[in-house]
Amino acid sequence: MSLLLSMEDCASDGDNYCSDRDSLDGIENEEPEFQCAPPKGSTTKVITKESLLAAQREDLRRVMEMLSLREHHARTLLIHYRWDVERLVAVLVEKGKACLFAEAGVTVVGHQDLDSSLPSIVMCDICMEGRPGGETTRVDCGHCFCNNCWTEHFMVKINEGQSRRIRCMAHKCNSICDEAVVRNLVSKKHPDMAEKFDRFLLESYIEDNKRVKWCPSAPHCGNAIRIEDDEFCEVECSCGLQFCFSCLSEAHSPCSCIMWQLWVKKCRDESETVNWITAHTQPCPKCHKPVEKNGGCNLVSCICGQAFCWLCGGATGRDHNWSSITGHSCGRFKVEGEKKSERAKRDHYRYIHYYNRYRAHTDSFKQESKLKETIQERVSITEERDSRLRDFSWVNNGLYRLFRSRRVLSYSYPFAFYMFGDELFKDEMTKEESEIKQHLFEDQQQQLEANVEKLSKILEEPFDQYSEDKVMEIRMQVINLSVITDTLCHKLYECIENDLLGSLQFGNHNIAPYKSKGIERASELTACWKSNNRDNYLPSDHEASGLSET
């Protein structure tokens, strides 16, 4: 029997079908290989190397048709507005076409042959030398310089990484140079740089587009992901990697991006090595390097030469005996020092509390991932028997729901660590408000946790050894618990979005929305046409002359 998931029993119709390759570990990527077909109406698209040109042309064509522009003018506008067509239209409606063009550095000229008006000898204002008209180039804004100066200017800008928006050389001129002029002049002396220029223009669709980002896979799969909705979402590339579109780290909802980055850093800093150094060494008061005590005397010396007291860490002299250090006393009780010590200990225990539970659900996820093969074997054995039970999609649905809920629970602990700590929201809530919200959140979290553990226990039952009546009983329990855990996940997210993060006045802590059917798998962008000929998507020689229809 195939182990493809049917989500009809445990998810709403409004969500998108996708595979749930959820990783709960910040470093590892051990995930179940459940897959569903991508939805017909997927809002995220995979842009491959082959479809990148078609994706760019799609937006270019919209602007070209809307404003009756040539391709390089449309590209200049889109790069300026970060390939956001909706924003471009909004500026057009609000400020008008003239302001739209001026802000982007677009100069549109009418039907006239600019080259025919050039005199036989043209004085170049850059090199201050007279040049034959055929060795000079006039761009859309009307400024004319010799080809050598133009070429050097273009080369410098390409090497500086500014090839997407190369401005005219004239003083205080904001006009963007025609890409065909750049390409034609550069290719005569430096063909490799012309190819680099073309590549930069093509990749600007990804580099300058807030709706498109490279897949962060390593080694890189070569794909990019384009979204249509909110940038605070989690997506899955066709290579199988799931990631947060906003920060490009692993999918971490319900943690915000800021919370997750802080948590990863803290987990890295709170490693076993750091814990051992903290427990067995004292920092030198002079050079601050950790010093390990290798004798019974409480006067220790650092390699930098500084002597200090092992008990309090204070700098001292070297005169001492077995009972005391000359001129130094740290035996008296100090309230501030005690408070600082207790606070540090409390913070450490608090971190351990949340980390252990985060790690416990991560480990449970890994162990439960092994259930896939076991359940497949049990289903096969049960199907071979002469039984009226033929549909076992409830088992797959329950296992899928278990994985989804484990993922939510795992990341809910880093969220709680920062939500109710002093690091991020100390000034946003009073102590009493924080305690009330913490109790509300923990009630939701504990309900979800209890039902997830029940679901995990039932799914581990050897149902292939049970009678049909017992299997039917287990079936109903799994279906019910799948619905309950999905509902509780929704409520937990509603609590976070409305009661916790929604009440904040400062800070940007958005989270990806919860989807019953998992992280959306991007469907591949279908190219309506394919061509390897550069002339099909680059301006023609006629367009390079600076002509345009308005």
* pLDDT(418) > 60: yes
pLDDT band at 251 (very low <50, low <70, confident <90, very high): very high
* pLDDT(335) > 60: no
Helix (H, G, I), strand (E, B) or coil at 31: coil
Q: In whole numbers, what is the pLDDT of the chain averaged over residues? A: 79
* pLDDT(410) > 90: yes
* pLDDT(26) > 90: no
* pLDDT(24) > 90: no
158-167 long-range Cβ contacts below 8 angstroms, 24+ apart: 158/186, 158/193, 158/196, 158/197, 158/200, 161/200, 163/196, 163/197, 163/200, 163/201, 164/79, 164/200, 164/201, 164/204, 164/207, 164/208, 165/76, 165/79, 165/80, 165/105, 167/105
> Would you say 87 and 237 are in contact if contact means Cβ atoms under 8 Å apart?
no
The answer, as to whether pTM is greater than 0.75, is: no
- Stretch 389-394: mean pLDDT, rounded? 79
* pLDDT(1) > 60: no
- Stretch 261-268: mean pLDDT, rounded? 89
Give backbone dihedrals phi and psi of 307, rounded to 5 degrees, phi first.
-95, 145
- Stretch 414-428: mean pLDDT, rounded? 88
Give backbone dihedrals phi and psi of 140, rounded to 5 degrees, phi first.
-60, -35
pLDDT band at 49 (very low <50, low <70, confident <90, very high): confident
Tell me, what's the pLDDT at 494?
A: 93
Helix (H, G, I), strand (E, B) or coil at 517: coil
Choice among 87-91, 401-405, 541-545 with the minimum mean pLDDT: 541-545
Helix (H, G, I), strand (E, B) or coil at 141: coil
Q: Tell me: the pLDDT tens digits for 267-322? A: 887 655 666 676 778 888 888 788 888 776 778 888 888 888 877 777 877 776 65
Tell me, what's the pLDDT at 211?
A: 87
> Would you say 20 and 519 are in contact if contact means Cβ atoms under 8 Å apart?
yes
Percent of the chain predicted with pLDDT > 70: 79
pLDDT band at 117 (very low <50, low <70, confident <90, very high): low
- Stretch 98-118: mean pLDDT, rounded? 72
Q: Which residues are catalytic?
A: 297
Tell me, what's the pLDDT at 550?
A: 29
- The DSSP-derived string for 399-464 is HHHHHHHHHHHHHHHHHHHHHTSSSSSTTTS-HHHHHHHHHHHHHHHHHHHHHHHHHHHHHTS-GG
pLDDT band at 405 (very low <50, low <70, confident <90, very high): very high
